[in-house]
Amino acid sequence: MTQKASIVWFKRDLRINDHAPLLTASFEDAPIIPLYIVEPEYWKQPDASRRHWHFIHDCLCDLNSSLAALGQHLIIRVGDACEVIKNLHLEHQIGDLYAHEETGNLWTYRRDIAVKNICMKNSIELHTSPSNGVVRRLCSRDGWSKIRNTRMAEKIHPKPSILRPVPPCISDTLPDKNDPMFGDPAIGKVQKGGRSQAVVDLRSFLNHRARKYLFHISAPDLSEFHCSRLSAHLAWGTLSVREVTQSILKRRSQLSLDEKKEFGRNLKAFESRLAWRCHFVQKIEDQPKIETHCMHPAFEGLRVSEQNHAYFQAWTWEYWLSFYRRLHAESYLLMVGSHFACERCW
């Protein structure tokens, strides 16, 4: 009888370090299929972009190299996730599927429900692990911060020492960055993806670029250098939030007295923004309707496709008229040197 294999499904966690599903699967006595599914329907969604794919492509190439060093290449399949998993089950008798919980959009939510049903129908055990600071099925937000901070302080999962390969498992060819499946051509420069680049970006930020983080965070020409450049890496999981949080704490503990003046407040502010990032992902986890509905019902009907053009023009005129009146008043008050009066006027 053929031994059942396990799938580790990579989605927004394109790394082998601090990856609970991969590590847990490696402890089991079963061949492992590290799987990434390129889903054509996903790339038709309005929030998907070829720029995303350029970044993901880099991440997948890097991930494949890391997995190959452990004994098993990344398996790429192009198609519907349910069909891919059913086909792999026919080919290799899948016993378990491991994945991180994903807080995505309505499309990925429905996809994950469909995959769960497929697993149940085919007697595949589905194992999901929490992702970053997001808590699924949270009863109250009162205890969320404590749970999140506890997770950030937990020990980082090591990468597996070895993966037991699956005898011949066919992989599709990784689609090219310029494949028409991914929409319109990318305009301008696209940030380089991959775990290796993520580590370089993190180190350069903590050791050098964070010096003026707070001063230049909102300046378009300077924020490119002085901000972390980690947003995309966190979004696609080449780094975990826990890895970044603990790296910040380690760097702060190493600062000299002179460095504390330059880095201390900036790193503390960045650490706070990492927590806010988890907070807002938790928001859509708890209230998924905010993707399709206004957070306050009074604002329903104000979207562009439903707006009253005459009302909008009237509001625009009143807004700019008010703006110029305030601008004139400020110019006069600045001319006579009344700074505080100017603030009261505004």
Listed by start position, the domains of the chain span 5-288, 319-346
- In the predicted model, is pLDDT for residue 316 greater than 80? no
- Counting residues of the chain whose pLDDT is more than 70, the rounded percentage is 91
Tell me what the pLDDT averaged over the chain comes to.
90
How far is the C-alpha of 227 from the C-alpha of 195, rounded, in Å? Answer: 18
Check whether 336 has a pLDDT greater than 70.
no
* Residue 35 φ then ψ, to 5°: -120, 135
CB burial of 49-70 (b: ≥16 within 10 Å; e: otherwise) equals: bbbbbbbbbbbbebbbebbeeb
pLDDT in tens, 164-207: 998 889 999 999 999 999 999 888 889 999 999 999 999 999 99
pLDDT digits (tens, 9 = 90+) for 140-165: 888 899 999 999 999 999 999 999 99
248-303 pLDDT tens trace = 999 999 999 999 999 999 999 999 999 999 999 999 999 999 888 888 888 887 76
What tens digit of pLDDT does each residue of 13-48 get?
Answer: 999 999 999 999 999 989 999 999 999 999 999 999
- CB neighbour list of residue 169: distance below 8 Å, 6 or more residues apart: 33, 75, 88, 91, 92
CA–CA gap between residue 288 and residue 106 (Å, rounded): 8
Q: What is the pLDDT of residue 29?
A: 86
Q: Angle, nearest 10°, between helix axes 195-207 and 50-70?
A: 100
Q: How does residue 342 score in pLDDT terms, banded at 50, 70 and 90?
A: very low
Q: What is the pLDDT of residue 328?
A: 55
CATH numeric code, 5-288: 3.40.50.620
